Amino acid sequence: MNSTWFITGTSSGFGRLLTEKLLARGDRVAATLRKPGALDDLKATHGDRLWITTMDLTDTASLRRSVDAAFAALGRIDVVVNNAGYGLFGTAEEVTDEQIRDVLETNLIGSIQVIRAAIPKLRDQGGGRIVQVSSEGGQIAYPNFSLYHASKWGIEGFVESVLQEVKSFGIEFLIVEPGPSKTDFGKGLVRPEPMAIYDDTPAGELRRGIDSGAFTLRGNPEKMVDSMIETIDATVMPRRLTLGGDAYAHVDAGLSARLDELRAQRDIAYAADDAA
């Protein structure tokens, strides 16, 4: 049985691949992008099964109109995929106020508003699934990505709460956490002017590693998207889907270290309670 999807950020990367693969198997897709024309080739091939609209995640009124129009045009939408976003690469001191606003308004507030707009539609139709594309950076952190991590840790916390609020309406959530992959994410990083004071710090070391191309990107976007589709199609979805061996290793190490630290504080935690 074919499904109908609403996907943000479809002009490139995971959004484009997901759209291509779903259309190829006969599904319908409502695709959003910031600049028109990027999906003209798919529209010419798949016709009415691809519905396209421009949408700016930082414009909540426009965003809501796009979600409303997609449901009105296609009727039932089975899966809403929050994929659009971008990266900001620089230390907390280096990034500008405008860059901070942009990354949080896009990755965090924009994603929140898509979910808020979709919930009543999915509830009225008896349920559906919402997929939030996050990152391994929603569970762990690297220097130079502090604001990007703020957006990803923030949206994951939001989803953790909302999924409990709407579960009884038949609305399910999946958080997808890809690791480094061979997409254009790195090329699209917004980068403030670097400060020399950070050259001999972990931030400077990471910056040099990225600029030199020393980091090997093992993640295969095609395989990652195939795993996403397979997981979303399954009768039972996990709460999170980590993609890529590097992501798995990094998240496993990060969560294990946090759990070890928590358990070491058990007696301190319980000592802060009133006596029974």
Please identify every residue annotated as catalytic: 134, 148, 152
Report the sign of the C-alpha dihedral through residues 242, 244, 248, 251, in that order.
negative
Tell me which DSSP letter residue 169 carries.
G
Q: Are 207 and 140 in contact (CB under 8 A)?
A: no
User: Which helix (H) or strand (E) is 33 found in, with range?
Assistant: strand 28-33
Q: Are 37 and 58 in contact (CB under 8 A)?
A: no
Q: How many CB atoms lie within 10 A of CB 217?
A: 16
User: Which helix (H) or strand (E) is 254 found in, with range?
Assistant: helix 245-264
User: Given the structure tokens 């539609």, which residue do they identify?
Assistant: 121
| Residues 56, 110: Cα–Cα separation, whole Å | 8
Q: How many CB atoms lie within 10 A of CB 204?
A: 18
